[in-house]
Amino acid sequence: MQKLQIIQDRVARQVMFALAAFAGLIVFLMAFGLFVRSRPILESFPLFELLSSSSWHPLKGEFGLFPFLLGTLWVTGVSIVVAVPFSLLCAIHLSEYATRRICEWVKPLIDLLAGIPSVVYGICGVLIIVPLIKNHLAPLFGTFSTGYTVLAGGLVLAVMVFPIIIHVALEVFSSVPYEVREASLALGATKWQTVKLVVLRKAMPGIIAAIVLGISRAFGETMAVLMVAGNVARVPKSVFDPAYPLPALIANNYGEMMSVPLYDSALLLASLVLLLVVVFFNILSRFVLIHVEKGIQ
């Protein structure tokens, strides 16, 4: 009886170890799987040409990803420019100024914002932001626009990125010891001076990590952007131009990709590029965050 239990225990240990190892390896498996599938196109064209060519004509066998890369960069850039000031101000407000009662109200709402599915964001983008740009913002700047633009994609993404930056920034702020704030206050600094000169300074690496996590989220977000960015395979020249971000490209063409030679390989290469960029950003910011956390103990 005793022996059986010990054997059970040992088997369980092996199984658990194997599962943990599997979980740890998923990222690598993904990269490997996508790489294997994108090899056909990498063998047909040099990688540099694929990434730098602007001509995307799958039927003619031309797979230039440049417009899509730039589309992603534009949309991500706009979203970060909008999201960073708002999220940081909000995070500072919650961590340094707001009473506990306000925090208890606001934080769950921000969590809720994080839980809203991206199609719902997309719908709201189509219903609110796209008309706003078409009817008000574009005329204001003297241009015509359908509303389905870089700006629309960026604004929708910004709202989706708020919760991530706020969440990570709050954790970073809470890791700044209270006594450092106290030291500054005791010298007669105002609260804002303390925040600006001490808290933000101490939290800077963590804040950058928060922003990078936000960027990587925006970089890979698919459905919401797909619905509002316009999807025209041309390099955007202004925020009122349509964009065709990489994730949108992948999602939009799953239907026909098996019937055109190399098409599937091109799309899986696009996924691989997306994966590698996002993983790079994530590793970077996680390292910083681990460092920040250790610095406290």
Partner 1 sequence: MENHTHIRVRELSVYYGREQALKNISVDIPEKRITAIIGPSGCGKTTLLKSFNRLIDSIDGVRVSGEISMNGDNIFNPKIDVTLLRKKMGLLSQRPHPLPMSIYDNVAYGPRIHGIRKKRKLDQIVEHYLKESSLWEEVRDRLHTPASGLSVGQQQRLCLARGLAVEPEIILGDEPTSALDPTASQRIEEKFLQLKARYTIVVVTHILRQAVRLADYVVFLYLGELIEHGPAEEVFKSPKKELTQGYIKGVIV
Partner 2 sequence: MSRKGSSKVNTRKVEEQFFKTLMIIATLIIISTLGVILLTVIMKGLPALSLSMITQTPKGGYYLGKEGGILNAIIGSLYLAGGATVLAILISLPIVMYFNIYAPKKSLFVSACRFSLDVLWGVPSIVFGAFGFTIMLFFGLRASLLGGIIAVALLVLPVMSRAMDEVVKMIPRDLLEASFSLGATRLQTAAKVVVRQALPGILTAVLVAFGRGIGDAASVIFTAGFTDSIPTSILRPAATLPLAIFFQLGTPFPEVQDRAYASALVLTAVILIISILSRVLAKSFTKHVVK
Name the token pair of 4. Answer: 């059986």
Q: Work out whether 141 is an interface residue with partner 2 (CB under 8 A).
A: no
Stretch of residues binding partner 2 (CB under 8 A), selected from 45-53, 174-182, 201-209, 272-280: 272-280
- Residue of the chain from 74, 121, 173, 263 that contacts partner 2 (CB under 8 A): 121
Residue owning tokens 């306000």: 102
Q: Work out whether 137 is an interface residue with partner 2 (CB under 8 A).
A: no
- Report the Cα 99 to chain-centroid distance in Å: 30
Residue owning tokens 């799309």: 267
Q: Spell out where the chain has E strands.
A: 56-57, 62-63
Nearer to partner 2, 119 or 238 (CB): 119
Q: Work out whether 208 is an interface residue with partner 2 (CB under 8 A).
A: no
Please check whether residue 213 is in contact with residue 285, taking contact to mean a CB–CB distance below 8 angstroms. Answer: yes
Q: Work out whether 275 is an interface residue with partner 2 (CB under 8 A).
A: yes
Nearer to partner 2, 226 or 239 (CB): 226
Cα 210 to Cα 83, 113, 231, 257: the distances in Å are: 11, 17, 29, 36
Q: Please tell me the distance from the alpha carbon of residue 267 to that of residue 32, in angstroms, as a whole number.
A: 15
Stretch of residues binding partner 2 (CB under 8 A), selected from 42-50, 135-143, 158-166, 175-183: 158-166
Q: Work out whether 47 is an interface residue with partner 2 (CB under 8 A).
A: no
Site of interaction with partner 1 (CB under 8 A): 99-100, 177, 179-190, 193, 197-198, 201-202
CB of 96 to partner 1, least distance (A): 9
Cα 93 to Cα 5, 139, 275: the distances in Å are: 55, 35, 34
How many Å from the N-terminal Cα to the C-terminal Cα in the chain?
45
Run of H or E residues at 230: none
From partner 1, partner 2, none, interface partner of 90 (C-beta below 5 to 8 A by class): partner 2
CB of 208 to partner 2, least distance (A): 15
CB of 143 to partner 2, least distance (A): 26
x/- letters, 27..46, toward partner 2 (CB under 8 A): x-xx--xx-xx---------
